[in-house]
Amino acid sequence: MSSDNQNHSFFKELKRRNVYRVGLAYVVFTWLALQVVDTLGPILGLPDWTPRLVFTILAIGFPAVILFSWAYELTPDGIKREKDVDRSKSITSHTGQRLDRITIGVLLITVGILLTDRFFISDAAPTQQVAQTDEASEQASSAGDTPSIAVLPFANMSDDQSSAYFSDGLADTMLHMLAQVDEIRVAARTSSFQFRDKSMDVGKIGAQLGVSTVLEGSVQRAGDKVRVTAQLIDVKNGFHLWSGNYDRDLNDVFAIQDEIANEVVAALKVSLLGEVIGTMDRDQTDNLDAYTEYLLGIDAMSSSSSESIRKAVGHLRAAVEHDPNFSRGWATLSNAYLDMEAYGIMARPEAIQSAEEAAFRALELVPELSEGLAALGMIKLLQNQSGEAGELLKRAIERGPNNVVALTYYGQYLLAEARPAEAAIVFEKATRLDPLAEDAYLVLASQYLILNRIDEALVVINRFRAIDPDNPNASGSYSFALAARGDYAEAIQAMQVAHEQDPFDPEIPFTIATMFLAIDLPEEAKRWLDRAAEIDPAHPCSRVGPVLLNYYLQNDNAANARLAHALLEDGIPNRRSARSISLRVMLDHAKESGDFGPYLEVMDKLYPHLFDDPPTDLEKSAMATYFAGVGHAHGGDAERGRELLDWLAADSERFVKVYGADRNMVDLRLELGDRDGALQALDDFSAHKFDSEYNAMLLQRDPTFDAIREEPAFVALMQDYDRNAAEQRQRLQALNAN
């Protein structure tokens, strides 16, 4: 028989045995399986690699199925080897018709799933946030309000991985330029760059970032040549709205970045808004070493540990040393110094001075630089120059409508002005722009806690925990929210998780110690205070730890007051209330001994403006005004003490209405002889759960409250504290047992 006849006979036999039909049915079934996994994967929380695994398994099975269909045949008596079947009784024709119907049915089901996913599930996807605890979050649903875009880090396709600076820099430059366009909402770099080196569907990326379009691309460098590819994708349907390719000679890295970035940004504005845009200033350096250090610095700032902030400052210092005229480098360095203060790494006076110098330098170079205005505005807020802070921050937002840092700082300004409703709007906008970053979430959650809106705080915190479960600040905020609810056992465990995630931050073990004190476990508290001292013995929390423990145990008050005095003489910062604790210890001992001399001397050294005649700059610190007023009232100038306390009571009234009373407000009313006002403040304090257990522990030991210690409200508060502390000790024991 000829080879042609043999081939014809072979293919005819394949057809008779339904091998073609089985293969087609298997392919259609594979398609159906992949569509089911792709559609239900996000709903079921399946890993991103699940579709790839399913495809691999089914691909491996394909040859086996083909071989099986060749060697075996379905008969009325079951499956038999093909060679054992009588051809006259074969039902392969009938089986083939059944396979056709099954294939058509599976095909219809697959098409139905595709249509459902396209027109129902995909449309609803933006409201299915990565945090399942907050399905009603508006951050993604707002994507359609205005044109919105996320600029993903460009893939470095070059053999030389050192060329990553060019791909990162190109994406960063485009992002910075787009962020200057008022009509476009741009996802912040902190969030969009989290998708570096991740193979993920743009629809899912768009849902997580709450944007309607995604700009992605690649950079390939070969010698002195570079090819850049960029495409703008509609996340709803995956269609390319625009794409561009650029081949250039790499004789001037930054000129090429400028050229390509301007062309891409102009094309994107036409695509998104139908408008033409001219050349935009990138506010960037032309020094390659400076730019590389800058990129390393902002990458480090996007992390969430005290160590990463230190690294960020080092890189940013190097950046401005390489190019002293790098305005954005100076502004970012200023913000990094502010982060150093926020993390307790640098004392406030030193941090503010360094941040202010950097901000002034940035604005000297570019007077209306949004990043510089934002940094200086926050500095003014920390310096209690509220009016100037507000104006600077408003200008920063006007110059950079997508500047998340400026929005976050402005929200903090609004909180300081007792305008929480406006602050909430600003923070929500910040989370929409930067949905995968932490600052706006944590500040918004803190605001809700201060307002005693604990459930809302937990929603925000859980949204962030789902986004970044390994973030110590997420775990710490969750702990604070649990403590605000009185759940100290769970709060301690959550804060211990934060310590595991960032073992180099002494403030975390110090906070754990205060929680143990809140449920009357001083031995455990001492263990964690010792841990804080091991991490950084010079940190304010480490230094004040023994003072706090002695105050709790009421150990040798005179010796403890001398220890507190030494800390205050050194100007200990108020990290985690370290200065307030020291002042409280000294003040209580002065009341007990009648000797206010050392107390007033150290107060005069720390806050000389309150000892001027008359006192000046009262708005600088409510805490200082309180401690100075009480000291004067008891052991110094009684008239001046009364003046300070009267001013503080009037100034604090608007804050108490919004945020509730703290223990100092109860004390303040007692110092002014307003017993009824003190009891009212006590009721307000007891209803306000945030940190109330810890403060209730202090109330038991503060002699100021002897005047109302027998009052039913005070007795009830102490009983409630004792009851919950006992319950939490039992709960903690049960949790540890499990």
Confidence of residue 39 (pLDDT cuts 50, 70, 90): low
Between CA 712 and CA 276 the distance in angstroms is 72
Residue-wise pLDDT tens digits, 1-36: 455 555 556 666 666 666 667 767 777 677 677 777
pLDDT at 376: 97
Confidence of residue 131 (pLDDT cuts 50, 70, 90): very low
Exposed / middle / buried, residue 229 (Cβ in 10 Å: 0-12, 13-18, 19+): middle
Between CA 50 and CA 297 the distance in angstroms is 35
Mean pLDDT computed over every residue of the chain = 81
The residue among 145 and 565 whose pLDDT is bigger is 565
User: What is the H or E stretch that residue 54 is in?
Assistant: helix 50-71
**Which amino acid is residue 113, in one-letter code?**
I
CB atoms within 10 A of CB 569: 14
Return the sign of the alpha-carbon dihedral for residues 509, 515, 519, 522.
positive
pLDDT at 75: 60
Residue-wise pLDDT tens digits, 421-451: 788 888 888 888 888 777 767 877 887 887 7
pLDDT at 519: 92
Between CA 733 and CA 425 the distance in angstroms is 41
Range picked from 48-57, 340-349, 373-382 for highest mean pLDDT: 373-382
Peptide bond into 614 cis (omega under 30): yes
The residue among 715 and 44 whose pLDDT is bigger is 715
Q: Is the pLDDT of residue 454 over 70?
A: yes
Q: Is the pLDDT of residue 49 over 70?
A: no
Q: Is the pLDDT of residue 64 over 50?
A: yes
Domains of the chain, earliest start first: 3-127 (no CATH), 141-281 (3.40.50.10070), 595-737 (no CATH)
The residue among 452 and 558 whose pLDDT is bigger is 558
Between CA 208 and CA 189 the distance in angstroms is 14
Residues whose CB falls within 8 Å of the CB of residue 423, separated by 6 or more in sequence, listed in order: 411, 412, 414, 415, 447
Confidence of residue 543 (pLDDT cuts 50, 70, 90): very high
Range with the poorest average pLDDT among 286-300, 374-388, 595-609:
286-300
DSSP string, 232-262: EEETTT--EEEEEEEEEETT-HHHHHHHHHH
Residues whose CB falls within 8 Å of the CB of residue 4, separated by 6 or more in sequence, listed in order: none
pLDDT at 176: 81
Q: For the residues 443-468, what does the mean pLDDT come to? A: 84
pLDDT at 119: 43
CA distance to 171, 217, 386, 414, per residue, from 147 (Å): 19, 20, 34, 28
Between CA 453 and CA 430 the distance in angstroms is 20
The residue among 421 and 673 whose pLDDT is bigger is 673
Residue-wise pLDDT tens digits, 559-614: 999 999 999 999 998 888 899 999 999 999 998 899 999 999 999 999 888 888 77
Percent of the chain with pLDDT over 70: 77
CA distance to 332, 544, 649, per residue, from 571 (Å): 28, 12, 26
pLDDT at 168: 80
Q: Is the pLDDT of residue 134 over 60?
A: no
pLDDT at 372: 95
User: What is the H or E stretch that residue 228 is in?
Assistant: strand 225-234
Tokens of 481: 């929210």
CB 705 within 8 A of CB 667: yes
Between CA 286 and CA 293 the distance in angstroms is 13
CB atoms within 10 A of CB 346: 22
- DSSP single-letter state for residue 567: H
- DSSP single-letter state for residue 212: S
The residue among 134 and 373 whose pLDDT is bigger is 373
Between CA 704 and CA 672 the distance in angstroms is 12
CB 20 within 8 A of CB 94: no
Burial profile 408-447: b = 16 or more Cβ within 10 angstroms, e = fewer:
bbbbbbbbbbeebeebbebbbbbbbbbbbbbbbbbbbbbb
Between CA 591 and CA 598 the distance in angstroms is 12
Burial profile 534-565: b = 16 or more Cβ within 10 angstroms, e = fewer:
ebbeebbbbbbbbbbbbbbeeeeeeebbebbb
Between CA 26 and CA 102 the distance in angstroms is 11
Q: What is the pTM of this model?
A: 0.61
pLDDT at 493: 96
Q: Where are the alpha helices (DSSP H) in 485-608?
A: 488-501, 507-518, 522-535, 540-553, 557-569, 578-593, 597-606
pLDDT at 138: 36
CB 659 within 8 A of CB 450: yes
Range with the poorest average pLDDT among 224-238, 290-304, 439-453, 659-673:
439-453
Confidence of residue 82 (pLDDT cuts 50, 70, 90): low
pLDDT at 490: 96
Q: Is the pLDDT of residue 683 over 50?
A: yes
Residue-wise pLDDT tens digits, 195-254: 887 778 888 888 888 888 898 888 887 777 788 888 888 888 888 888 888 887 766 667
Tokens of 491: 């709060």
Confidence of residue 317 (pLDDT cuts 50, 70, 90): very high
Tokens of 167: 């791909």
pLDDT at 38: 67
Confidence of residue 283 (pLDDT cuts 50, 70, 90): low
3-state secondary structure of 151: strand
Residue-wise pLDDT tens digits, 483-517: 988 899 999 999 999 999 999 999 999 999 999 99
- What angle, 0 to 180 degrees and rounded to 10, lies between the N-to-C axes of helices 675-687 and 663-671? 180
Q: Is the pLDDT of residue 478 over 50?
A: yes
Confidence of residue 664 (pLDDT cuts 50, 70, 90): confident
Confidence of residue 727 (pLDDT cuts 50, 70, 90): very high
Range with the poorest average pLDDT among 53-67, 114-128, 391-405, 602-616:
114-128
Confidence of residue 130 (pLDDT cuts 50, 70, 90): very low
- DSSP single-letter state for residue 78: E
> What SS3 string covers 578-647?
HHHHHHHHHHHHHHHHCCCHHHHHHHHHHCHHHHCCCCCCHHHCHHHHHHHHHHHHHHCCHHHHHHHHHH
Q: For the residues 544-563, what does the mean pLDDT come to? A: 94
